Structure 1
Amino acid sequence: MLDQLPLSRKQLRSIAQATARINIWSGAIRSGKTIASLLAFLIAISTAPTTGLIVVVGRSLQTIERNVLDPLQTIELFGPLARQVHHTRGATTATILGRTIHLIGAADARAEGRLRGLTASLAYVDEATLIPEGFWNQLLGRLSVPGARLFGTTNPDGPGHWLKKRFLDRANELDLRAWHFTLDDNPSLAPAYVAALKAEYVGLWYRRFIDGAWVQAEGAVYDMWQPDTMVVDLLPQMQRILGVGVDYGTVNAFSALLLGLGVDGRLYVVSEYRHDSRITRRQLTDAQYSQGLRNWLEVNDAQPEWLFIDPSAASFMTQLWTDGVPGVAKADNDVLDGIRSVGVALGSGRLLVHRSCQGLIDELPGYSWDDSAAAKGIDKPLKVNDHSCDALRYVLHSTAHEWRGLLRTDLRPAA
């Protein structure tokens, strides 16, 4: 099988050397680390002891299906072996090479309970930096069968992350082997695709996902923001009004942003509705916010496809539904993925902001990473003056599946 795939020397070496108790493949996206780790995992399954369970761990069952099982079932990657990978969507077990594989989602510390009483001989961990440290420690404790091994993959995180500090940096002290991959380590990638990947990531995400560096999140979250070139006075005709992002606030500011796709192939923050009770000294009810939002949309002659609301604002969503407002939905509130979507759109020159959106324009330069959290290995923005930034993240990330394939590909990052 190995001689049928265009594997690099580093991939082959990592597969052959993955005999330690802990084996970790880290580095850039699309660098070949996942394929190498999955091949090593298949080989390990074929020789694993019959005592002890085999488990695959990921942030959720859905990510396990997408990142592990779907590739394993791809004929182009694994040939005839792909036919020996059987899984029913949504099931918590799979069958690989005749062995039952247990699939465990580990989104938070509560997932540790799923390991209680378990004895394992082999484990595969997808996106290891996203797994709670307590779960990881519990899993290592459950790998108690003689010769048990753990295979893990990860993109780099901050240098203070527990996986780097407690394991990767101590590889010489532990029964651990690790391999670091860059895009150049994947011989199957076309140069044009590599160039496109490099154009899609900026700032922190470029350094981590393209360079494969363990770097700290510090300074401005959107360090690519340049108001001189990204704030516009005139808007082109909009071919679509993709949505509205709403960050709900009563004591704090209430902010709504209207996102459109222009005929020129760029995204535009067209307009902003904002009410700050600390400035106006007047708090509004859900009904008043609903009326204000509808009046604002009417003034802008806008019929957005979706209204993405702060997921914590359940009462406000109920008010909108009562008022018959169409397209109301909970926003995707994955903070880091949402920040990445905004950063990609800004850094590639694909997102511009109309000058009337003053709340957003004022907030973007000061939206910063929390240094105290970064020192603990946690990426978290400061929760200060971030209401319009949150509204932007809600609408941009929640519609990412719509706009990523629609934008012009010849745009360049702002100078």
Structure 2
Amino acid sequence: MEDNSLITHAEEIKQNIHHDKKRNDPIFLVGIEIEGCLLNDKGLPVDAAPLIEASLNTKHPLDYEYGKCQFEFKTNPFSFYELSKINDTTQDFIESLDNLVRKAYPSQNVIPVFLGANPSPIFSDETIITDKPRYKKISEWQSAFPDAQMDGQTFKSNLIGTAIQGFHFHLQGKNPDYTAHMFNHILNLIPSSILLGANSRLIAGRTYSVYEPRVFLFDQAEGQNSGFPAISKYLDSLEEYVNYVASRQPILASNYYELEKERHDDVRIRITDESYRVETRILSVQPTAQELICMIEFFIGYLHHTISEQRPLRPLPDIREERMSTIRSGFNAQGVFDFTESIMLELDFAKKGLYDLNVNPEFIDILYRRLENKTSAGEAVVNMWDKKFNGSLEETTVEVISEIWDHTKKNKPIT
């Protein structure tokens, strides 16, 4: 990072971190970001702008995303004691979304889709990118990267973001050092998060052999600006993370906070004047609120237990290797440890951590069930596609997303 103003700001951030060592902020405050997309009853993308504009004066305002057919819903932070309230809030959002879609598109049958990838067969040119300066600049930057390849299919790097949807959540640390510990331990969860949270095998009108195409393609679309953090060792301090972020070339950023947001890593640390928090970005959006909350329970419980017990961290090269194997092969991946046994241990750690926090785990059994059945939401969608496929991509797409939307509205997990 050569911009002097960015360097100066990064140094100011490090000074603030030093002064904040003794902070004792509420731990594990949770804020979530849910991305979705809109298709019509022909399986074609629908411009989300009318829906977003109609939502702005409601209690569940939406925001624009990279693709024109995409939208994003965010919540304010909740205490970790209120995870059931996040479930209720998300379900309330889904109910209001159902009504708002009808009002925003009175002459169309529009279906919201909460999959990690856009299943529409239409995935072709720059007209599907949201017409805003920031997104146009990102598109221009990504266009310099080679096309991505998957199962013999070519994807333009600058269009991949229009066809993938994630589930991001923020967890607050009580001080800078604790936040660095959270970051380190979350890195250990990345392979299992992919394995249990994959939900993007149906993309661009077909299913693929890759277990989690959303991550596989995005890694290619952004070169070294996304994926597993490009660190050589675990963080000893939060200042080291600031140095890591500050070493990157900016795309649009004019200060450290903006540069931080331009790092599309699996997990990143967000620093503000008010808080220190980690943001997970590895997960695909899940079809239902329960399937979203079970992932939060997994992370919070695991972090509390492993940090409190000072559990050892695994070698970063092993995690990187398992991450790539899991993205490609899922439960068929070969890891340093037996995946089933190691993930069962992580889930048990998480459940114990939740009980130690006096939190009754409500939804984590969804993940135990996925592990036992060696499946994920993405695998369930593939099975759904295979059963319904009638030779027409458009008709099958609509049948699949309609069934998934029914699960979403009923908050009935598909796994």
TM-score, scaled to structure 1:
0.25
Structure in which a larger fraction of residues adopt strand: 1
User: RCO greater where, 1 or 2, for CA within 8 Å and sep 6 or more?
Assistant: 2
Larger Rg: 1
